[in-house]
Every structure is written in C-alpha cells, then in structure tokens.
Amino acid sequence: MRYFFVANALHRRHERSLRRCLAFLHALGHTVGVSYTRYPGHAKELAHQAAMEGWECIVGAGGDGTLHEVLNGIIGSQAILALYPMGTGNVFAREMRLPTSWKSIARMLAEGHTLSLDVGKANNRFFLLMLSAGFDAYAIRTLSVMEGKNRERGLRRLFGKLAYVVGGFQALGKYRFPLITVDVDNERHCASFVLISNIQRYGRYFKITPQASPLDGYLDVFLYREVGTWNLLRLVWRVVTTLWQPYGGGTLFQRKDLIRCRSLVLNSEERVFSQVDGEPFETLPLEVTIHPQAIRMILPKNVLHKYKSLFPETRSFS
C-alpha cells in the first residue's frame, strides 16, 4: 500500500518515532511519503493533493485538529484515512483505542483493517468527532487569540491540555450566556451550550454522550440548559477535575438531556461561536447533518471486533 503522512510541524518532538514508523513500513515493502504543515489549513491542502495523486492511505500525524483537516482534504475521494496520534488531546485516538508506540501504530497501518465511519457536516465543513456551540467554543477561540499566529510557542505547545483550562478561566468572566435555539424534527429546544457528537468522548478523560457511535447513522445532541456564572463555574470545575482522573473516562453528566437525530439547525439572536473537533469554527447559524459511512479509516483489529458485535448487520468492515 502507498501511505502518505501529513505531519503537524507543531509536534516535531515526535519526529524520531514517526521516522521509525516510516522506515518500518518501507522495510515491509510499502511506499511511504511525508510532508510537514507550515500554516493552519495546510494539512487539508496536503491531504487533498496526496489523494488526487493517488496515494491510497492518507495518515494524519498529529492531534484531533490535524485529523480534522486531513478528513476535509480527502473526503469524497477513494483515499483511506488513518491517524498517527501525537497531539495534545488525542480524543479520537483514545476513543478508538489506537496504540501509542510507533511500532504498534506501524503494524496497525500495515494490517490495514478498515471501518467505514459516519461523518458529520456543519455548513460546508465535515467533522469526525464533535461540534459544539457555547462557552467551550468561546474558550477555545479565546485561547487561540491569546496564542496569536505564533502557535509554535503558544500555550498549548508549552502546557499541553492545561492550556485549555487557562483559556476557559480567561473566558469565564466575559461570557454572557446567549440563548441557543436547536431545531430538530419540527421541534424547537433552547440551551446555553450544545454538543453534537459522533463519538462518546468529549474530552480525553470523560464522556458526555456515552451512547454515541460513529456507525449508527445518528448524531447525539446534548443540551445544557443552565445559565449564569455559578452554574458555569460548577461545570468548569467538573471538567477540570477530570484531568487528574484515570483514563477510564467516566460520564460527566448523570442527568442527561440528549436528542438523537440525523439533522438539526443551531441559531441565536446573539453572536455565538462554535468549534469542530477542537478547532474554532463559524458563528451561528449552522445546519448540521450526518453522512453515514462517508469515510474509510484504518483502525485496530480489536476495535473492529467491538463494533462488529454492536452492529452485526453493517457493511462497514473490511
């Protein structure tokens, strides 16, 4: 197989392991190539170009943001998606139980077991993990503004996942809880925070939508209706405390307010930011839909067995 790696230049500390992975695949007789990103959006461009050139598998070497860009670069082509996790959060890698050592990742890629996953779409942007609107998107945007254009020496580069805590507390005093309307199947709901998930995990250490699956053809929508600084402080504190919990990934909210649907519209009379797969996105309104089995992705064999047992009738496996 021909593997093209789109590597995030912000994570060059992993370059030695990445090069070992490339050499391992080459020694097995596979063709490999790699390019490093130079600016935001470059991963999408590199992935699209590689797909058009006929590379069979495009591997995002980075975090959830890199995976997001590569997905948007190759969707609609015949290329297979894969991930070499080396980002800050690695939420998707944790969800799909991807290995952490370079040799195990190389073996997973060489085995080439694929699963066809559902993909969400918000306006003209595709996403594999989640979309949300409300405080978390405002906090992520605040963090991006704090880092500026020089993200190589930004807070996420220096402090990792704790940078999101900094962004959250920086945004806390400025947020005004604008009302978000959610139109689903001719019904209108209202919330101060909306999470639309294609997977179970919201963060690396916890879940908000524990029933979500990238194979069921649905989006799982969580509505947080509380407003006010005190409720938000309680929410932020619950998120912060998960950073020191084991990797088991407990559910953040026991009292769930969930909707399952195939499409919905988010709107607000005020300016509300959104984020997709952990990256800042557009302000509302947004039209969100699910596209079943829209991308083939190389995943560990045990993950395929897990989903086969849950969805025995699907044709997503190969």
Assign 3-class secondary structure to 187-254.
EEEEECEEEEECCCEEECCEECCCCCCCCCCCEEEEEECCCCHHHHHHHHHHHHHHHHCCCCCEECCC
Domain interval for residue 43: 2-112
pLDDT tens digit string along 34-77? 999 999 899 999 999 999 999 999 999 999 999 999 999 999 99
Encode the chain (318 residues) as per-residue pLDDT tens digits.
999 999 999 887 889 999 999 999 999 999 999 999 999 899 999 999 999 999 999 999 999 999 999 999 999 999 999 999 998 779 999 999 999 999 999 999 999 999 999 999 999 999 999 999 998 888 888 777 665 655 544 545 544 555 455 556 566 667 888 999 999 999 999 999 999 999 998 876 678 888 899 999 999 999 988 877 777 677 666 666 665 555 455 566 555 578 999 999 999 999 999 999 989 999 999 999 999 999 999 999 999 988 988 888 776 777
Instruction: Give yes or no: residues 135 and 101 share one domain.
Output: no
Q: What pTM did the predictor assign? A: 0.88
Residues 173 and 270 in one domain: yes
For residue 1, the one-letter residue type is: M
Q: List helix spans (H) across 42-161.
A: 42-52, 64-74, 91-95, 102-111, 135-147, 155-159
Q: Indicate the residue type of 141.
A: R
How far are the Cα atoms of 70, 133, 176 from residue 284, in angstroms, in the given order? 24, 8, 16
Q: What is the pLDDT of residues 117-157, one digit of tens each?
A: 999 999 999 999 999 999 888 888 877 766 565 554 454 55
| CATH number of residue 99's parent domain | 3.40.50.10330
Same structural domain, 21 and 76: yes
Residues 6 and 104 in one domain: yes
**Is residue 161 assigned to a domain?**
yes
Does 101 share its domain with 148?
Answer: no
Domain identity same for 53 and 158: no
Domain tally for the chain? Answer: 2
Residues 252-255: contacts with CB under 8 Å, at least 24 apart:
252/202, 252/206, 252/207, 252/208, 253/208, 253/222
Are 237 and 130 found together in one domain? yes
Domain holding 171: CATH number? 2.60.200.40
One domain, residues 142 and 259: yes
| Domain membership flag for residue 302 | no
